[in-house]
């Protein structure tokens, strides 16, 4: 008598598991680096704390792109990335700045830290809710400043104090609270800022782009804090430009939609 064949099979896709694990491993490494920056700040090694945050920002920019490149995106990775951003660009920068300067302001300094961390949490929550919408021209912009940029912006006074620009005298007791308040507002605002997700480079300009990237990282290795400070200032100067560009694109698309609606109307007279 012929035995019935068992058509039930357990299939394990090891390649799929590896694709999911790799980006999550990078994200967890970013968490460790972000937490390590707090330890460096507690020991008074603020230079290493800043470098740790920069490495965490670099990993944050790579893990998502690597996940999409190897098709290893997952819901767990998305939530893990938000938790990592909360630690590396919310809690860690707040503690670093508190150990450096805000502790001299007493309760007001701690209040600024709390406000900033709460704004980072709200920013990440709104980002997770808005993720998954239909692609549009708005994908070129963030609503508000992203959390990695916010973490670096609040560290800018500390970074500037480590540069060679000694001829510029700054009252950090005033500048640091201003940076915290402004950055917190930018995080939770709907102010459009460039996302740099969809940058189209012409083939003939690729070599100049590569040269610029090599030059930037070369200067970053030689003059790290000077380059980071200048980059943060350039980013702040780009915010008004992104706002004007956003309003221009918004008007163009509204006019196009209005024209399309007019074309759909039929002449019944």
Residue 85 near residue 50, CB atoms below 8 Å: no
Q: φ and ψ at 209, to 5 degrees?
A: -65, -45
HSE-up (13 A, CA, CB side) for residue 106: 1
Q: CA–CA distance from 168 to each of 165, 172, 179 (Å)?
A: 6, 12, 17
- Is the Cα torsion angle 29, 32, 34, 39 positive or negative in sign? negative
| 48 contact partners, CB below 8 Å, separation of at least 6 | 37, 40
Instruction: Provide the token pair at 244.
Output: 């004007």
| 105 contact partners, CB below 8 Å, separation of at least 6 | 112, 173, 177
- Look at residues 197, 180, 194, 185 and name the one whose alpha carbon lies nearest to residue 239: 194
pLDDT of 65 reads: 76
Domains of the chain: 14-131+138-248 (1.20.120.1760)
pLDDT, block means (10 residues), the chain with 269 residues: 51 57 84 93 93 91 78 76 90 95 92 95 85 68 88 93 83 92 92 77 79 90 91 91 88 70 45
192 SS3 class: strand
> Hey, what's the torsion of the CAs at 151, 155, 156, 161, to 10 degrees?
-170
pLDDT of 11 reads: 43
Torsion region of 237: left, alpha or beta (phi above 0 gives left; psi -120 to 50 gives alpha):
alpha
Is the pTM for the entire model greater than 0.95?
no
């Amino acid at each position: 008598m012929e035995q019935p064949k068992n058509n039930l099979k357990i299939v394990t896709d090891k390649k799929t598991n590896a694709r999911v694990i790799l980006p999550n491993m990078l994200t967890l490494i970013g968490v460790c680096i972000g937490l390590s920056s707090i330890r460096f700040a507690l020991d008074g090694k603020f230079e290493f704390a800043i470098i740790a945050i920069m490495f965490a920002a670099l990993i944050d920019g790579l893990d998502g792109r690597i996940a999409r490149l190897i098709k290893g995106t997952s819901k767990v990775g998305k939530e893990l990335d938000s938790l990592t951003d909360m630690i590396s660009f919310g809690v860690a920068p707040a503690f670093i700045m508190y150990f450096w300067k805000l502790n001299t302001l007493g309760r007001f300094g701690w209040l600024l830290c709390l406000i900033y961390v709460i704004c980072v949490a709200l920013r990440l929550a709104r980002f997770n809710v808005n993720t998954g919408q239909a692609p549009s021209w708005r994908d070129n912009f963030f609503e508000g400043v992203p959390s990695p940029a916010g973490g670096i912006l609040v560290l800018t006074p500390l970074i500037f104090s480590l540069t060679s620009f000694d001829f510029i005298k700054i009252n950090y007791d005033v500048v640091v609270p201003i940076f915290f308040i402004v950055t917190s507002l930018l995080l939770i605002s709907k102010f459009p800022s460039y996302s740099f997700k969809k940058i189209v480079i012409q083939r003939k300009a690729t070599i100049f782009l590569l040269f610029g990237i090599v030059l930037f990282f070369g200067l970053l290795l030689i003059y790290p804090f000077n380059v980071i400070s200048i980059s943060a200032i350039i980013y702040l100067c780009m915010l008004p430009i992104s706002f004007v560009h956003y309003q221009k694109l918004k008007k163009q698309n509204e006019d196009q939609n209005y024209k399309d609606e007019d074309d759909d109307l039929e002449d019944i007279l």
